[in-house]
Structure 1
Amino acid sequence: MRPLMSLLEIDGLSTHFATADGLVRAVDDVSLRVEPGQTVCVVGESGCGKSVTARSILRLIDPPGRIVAGRIRYQSAGAAVDLAALDPTGAEMRRIRGKEIGMVFQEPMAALSPVHTIGRQLTETLLLHERLGKREARERAIDELRSVGIPQPEQRIDAYSFQLSGGMRQRAMIAMALACRPQLLIADEPTTALDVTTQAQILDLLRSLQEDRGMAMLFITHDLGVVAELADRVAVMYLGTVVEECDVDSLFHDPRHPYTRALLRAVPRIERRVRRRLPTIRGQVPHPQQRPTGCPYRTRCDHAVPNLCDQQPPPPVNTGDREVRCVHYPTADSIRDGHEEPAHAG
C-alpha cells in the first residue's frame, strides 16, 4: 500500500445495515482526511451518519451493520494500514483501538460501566496497551484524571460513574480515551448532554490537551458554534453523504452547497431586529429506508431542478481545497468562482 501524508484518509466509505425492513445506507461513499495535529469537524443534523462514520473507523459497527465498500487508511507506526480490511476483533485492530486512536462517546453514562470504578476502567486500558504494573497503572490513571481537571483524583479514582456529575463523567471518558497518548482522538458529540457552562469547559479542555499532546481530532457535532471554535476543516454530512468539505473560514464566509447555506441561515444571531422569524430548513431528514432518488437533499432543497436532481446523485467535484456535491457546481472553476451554473434537465 502506498505511503500516506495524511494521518487518516477515508476513501469511498460505505457502511450499510441489512435489516428485516430493508437496506439502510447509513454511510454512503464518504471520503475524508485528517492531517497530523489537525481538527476536522463533521457536522449535520441527527440521522446524517456522523456517528456511524466514527464507529466505522474504529470497527465498532454491530451486526447487521457492516462496511461494504471503501478504505480507511491510517498511518500506524510509520506504515499505512487499511482499517476497513482488518478483523474488528483481531489483534491488530485491538492494538490500534484505544492506544493509537481514542474515542470519546456521546453519552458517558452509557459508555461507562456502572459496576466498575472509574479507576478500574482506566487502569484496564493502561494495562492492556502499556507495559505497566498495577501500581504504576494506578498512579498513571491518577495523573490522567488530574490532567483533565478532575479535583481530588486520588479519591475520585475509586468512585463509580453514577457518583460523578455529567461534566466529571465526561472528563473521565476523556482521560480514558487519552490515557495511552493516541495520535488521533474521535469525539462523538461529547458536549451534547451538558449545560452550556460545562460544554465550554470541556471544549477548552479538549483544545488545551490537543495543543499539549499534538494529536489530531475528528470532532462530530451538530453545533456550528462548536465548529467555529474548534475546526480547521469541516465536512458537512447529509443522509450518509459528505455534501461539502472545506476549511472552516470558507464554510462560514463563503459556503457553496445549498444545505450548508441553509444550516448557516438557521443559526440564531444577536440582532437589533428582535421580531425577525428564524429561518428553518423545511421538512426533515428522510428515513434512510426512504432515501430519495438522485440527490439526497433534493426533497428539501429550494434550488432543486426537476428531472435532473431526482435522476442521479451528483458526483463530488474537488478543487484541491474544497469538495462539493451539487449539480449547480459541476466544475472546479464554478466552485472556486462561487457562481452557481444554471442546471438543466436532459
Structure 2
Amino acid sequence: MRRQIIEPLLEIEKLSTHFETADGLVKAVDDVTLRVEPGKTLCIVGESGCGKSVTARSILRLVDPPGRIVAGRINFRSREAEEAVDLAALDPRGPELRRIRGKEIGMVFQEPMVALSPVHTIGQQLVEVLRLHEQLGKKEARERAIAELRGVGIPNPEQRIDAYSFQLSGGMRQRAMIAMALACRPQLLIADEPTTALDVTTQAQILRLLRKLQEERGMAILFITHDLGVVAELADRVAVMYLGNVVEECDVDSLFHDPRHPYTRALLRSVPRIERRARRRLPTIRGQVPHPQQRPSGCPYRTRCDHVVLGECDVDNPDLVSDGEREVRCVHYPTADSIRAGHELEHEEVAADAG
C-alpha cells in the first residue's frame, strides 16, 4: 500500500554544496534530494564526514566560505508565503531569509557551549530572539522567555534565565538551546546531533522532550545523527548518507527490517545486539570514509563494499532510483521493480548474521 502523498514542508532537490580549497574541490554535499513532511521526523544518518551537518547548514545558508551551494533547490513552505520559497536562491544576509531563520525554521546545534554566547546570559539571548521575531517589549519578552525555559524542563527558570552558559550543565545548556530554537513556534526544527556530547540518561531525556514538544506543537523535525538507536526511537523516515550522497531513503521500519543498500546493511550489522552469541566479534565496516578530496571514481562506497561489481561500480555513480516508497542509489537496484523485489545478497547476509 503506497503512502499518502502529502505536500512537503521542506523539499530539497538535487542540492550540491562544494568547498573550493587550495588543495582541491570538496563535494561535501552532492546531488542530495530529500523531503520533510509536516509534523513528521526525518533522520539523516551516516558516519562522520558523510555530509550530514553541511546539508543541515545549507538549508539555513549557514555554510561558511569557501563553501557554497553550487546547484539545487531548497523549497520551504513558509507560513507567510502562498508558494514555496527557494531558500537556495535567497541572499544569506538578506531580510527574507532572516525572517525565516529562527522564526519558521529553528536549529539546535551539536555543541551548545560553542553555539551559546559566553558573555551574555541565557535570558538575554532568548529575549533577543523573541524581540527580533515577535516584536515583543522587554518585560513581555522576559516573561515569555521564562515560560519557554519552563516548557523545556529547566527547573527554577526565574533564576536560571540570568545564568551564563558556563554556569549550566550540559543537559541544561542543550535545553536552553532547544528553548531558543522553539521560542517562535517554528514549523521545522533542525537538530544537528543534539545528544552526542551528553551522557546516556540526559540523551534519553532530550529525546523524550523533543517528542513531547513535537506532539504538542505539530512541528516537523530534521534530526541528524550517527546513532541508529536514536533513529529507531525518533524517526518516521530515514535518509542514509555516504560521502555527500543519499544512498537510501525509506520509512524507519523498512530501514531496520528490510534494508537495501550495502552501506545501510553494513551499518545495521555493526549495531550491538543482546541476542548475539557470546565471544563473537562485532561486525565492522572495513576501511574508513575516504577523504573528500580523495573521492573514489564511480560509487564512493565501492572501496568498502563487499558486493562491488568491477567495471560498473568503479565507472559510474548510479542515480537515485525510486519505487514510490523508497529510494536507493546502487548498481544492484537499477529499477523500481528491483528495489521492491530486494536482492538475494540480503537474504544471505541475514542468514549468516542469525547463525
Q: Same fold (TM over 0.5)?
A: yes
1:344 aligned partner: none
Distance in 2 (alpha carbons) for counterparts of 1:102 and 1:212? 16
Equivalent AA in structure 2 for residue 177 of structure 1: A
CA drift at 1:111: 0.2
Change in CA separation of 1:245 and 1:148 when aligned onto 2, cut-off 3 Å: same
Distance in 1 (alpha carbons) for counterparts of 2:7 and 2:203? 33
2:302 aligned partner: 298
Residue deviations 1:156-186, cap 9 Å, x none?
0000000000000000000000000000000
1:246 equivalent in alignment to 2:240 = no
The answer to whether the Cα contact below 8 Å between 1:13 and 1:28 also exists between their aligned partners in 2 is yes
1:36 aligned partner: 38
For residues 36-55 of structure 1, the aligned pairs below 5 Å read 36-55=38-57
Equivalent AA in structure 1 for residue 190 of structure 2: I
The answer to whether the Cα contact below 8 Å between 1:328 and 1:340 also exists between their aligned partners in 2 is no
- 5+ residue gaps, structure 1: 342-346
1:121 aligned partner: 125
1:263 aligned partner: 267
2:199 aligned partner: 195
The answer to whether the Cα contact below 8 Å between 1:150 and 1:168 also exists between their aligned partners in 2 is yes
Distance in 2 (alpha carbons) for counterparts of 1:273 and 1:287? 35
The answer to whether the Cα contact below 8 Å between 1:17 and 1:24 also exists between their aligned partners in 2 is yes
Please say which of residues 32-41 and 78-87 is displaced more in the overlay.
78-87
The answer to whether the Cα contact below 8 Å between 1:334 and 1:340 also exists between their aligned partners in 2 is no
Equivalent AA in structure 1 for residue 149 of structure 2: L
Matched residue SS, 2:30? strand
CA drift at 1:339: 2.3
1:276 aligned partner: 280
Distance in 2 (alpha carbons) for counterparts of 1:153 and 1:63? 38
Distance in 1 (alpha carbons) for counterparts of 2:152 and 2:93? 30
Equivalent AA in structure 1 for residue 166 of structure 2: F
Equivalent AA in structure 2 for residue 145 of structure 1: L
For residues 1-346 of structure 1, the aligned pairs below 5 Å read 5-77=7-79, 78-271=82-275, 273-339=277-343
Distance in 2 (alpha carbons) for counterparts of 1:202 and 1:129? 25
Tell me the TM-score normalised to structure 1 length. Answer: 0.97
Residue deviations 1:6-45, cap 9 Å, x none?
1000000000000011000000000000010010000000
Distance in 1 (alpha carbons) for counterparts of 2:179 and 2:260? 38
CA drift at 1:340: 5.4
Equivalent AA in structure 1 for residue 160 of structure 2: R
Change in CA separation of 1:272 and 1:85 when aligned onto 2, cut-off 3 Å: closer
Q: CA RMSD, aligned part only?
A: 1.0
Distance in 2 (alpha carbons) for counterparts of 1:178 and 1:134? 19
- 5+ residue gaps, structure 2: 1-5, 346-355
CA drift at 1:272: 5.8
Residue deviations 1:324-344, cap 9 Å, x none?
000001110010011259xxx
Matched residue SS, 1:79? coil
Distance in 1 (alpha carbons) for counterparts of 2:159 and 2:172? 13
- After the TM superposition, which parts of structure 1 deviate over 4 Å for at least 4 consecutive aligned residues? none
Equivalent AA in structure 2 for residue 264 of structure 1: L
Distance in 2 (alpha carbons) for counterparts of 1:317 and 1:177? 35
Equivalent AA in structure 1 for residue 234 of structure 2: L
CA drift at 1:273: 1.8
